[in-house]
Amino acid sequence: MLYAVSAALRRFLWIDRGRLGIQGTSYGGQLTDWLLTQTRIFKAAIPIAGISNLISYNYMTYYNQYEEMEFGKFIHQSNLMDELWQRSALKHVANVATPTMLMHGENDADVPIAEAEQYYIALKDVGVETIMVRYPREGHGLHETRHVSDAIDRCMAWYEKHFPSSRKE
């Protein structure tokens, strides 16, 4: 992903490096959480319903046999738990500096809201500007019109707050 961003910045000189944001939902939210620990190129971030800790996720979701299918073993076998912890954004949260607004549905059965809650607390602990938006009655994605509208408004406001003005005066 970072290679693609670098390639785009080299190819399209009109891209404003001071106004790069990152946002994703579900796996995109997990990727956003992770990329924030790997680079400081993004000026604002909005992970939505992302996994921040692959170990806690395994024990809280009904997808708890995913790792067995993916790796051919349970996470307590061999060194898989250590490997999953290494691949978890939460382990590397001290590297994050990007202002982050987390969004999550309170009734998300696919990715429990605790994934966002623990990342939010960790971001606060390391001094990152962060807020968390919880949507009542929502699952893995927003469906209520009022919530969808609210999320769009909040995302626009978050980016406007953290991107420098592009106007030349």
Specify if 61 maps to a domain.
no
Specify if 121 maps to a domain.
yes
Segments forming the whole domain that contains residue 131: 17-53+88-162
Cα distances from 1 to residues 8, 38, 58, 64, 109, in angstroms, run 11, 11, 25, 27, 27
Backbone angles phi, psi at 139, to 5 degrees: -100, -135
pTM of structure:
0.92
Specify if 11 maps to a domain.
no
Catalytic positions are 26, 140
Section 10-16 average pLDDT: 95
Specify if 3 maps to a domain.
no
- pLDDT, position 103: 98
Of 65, 63, 58, nearest to 81 by C-alpha is 58
- List, for residues 97-140, the tens digit of each pLDDT value: 999 999 999 999 999 999 999 999 999 999 999 999 999 999 99
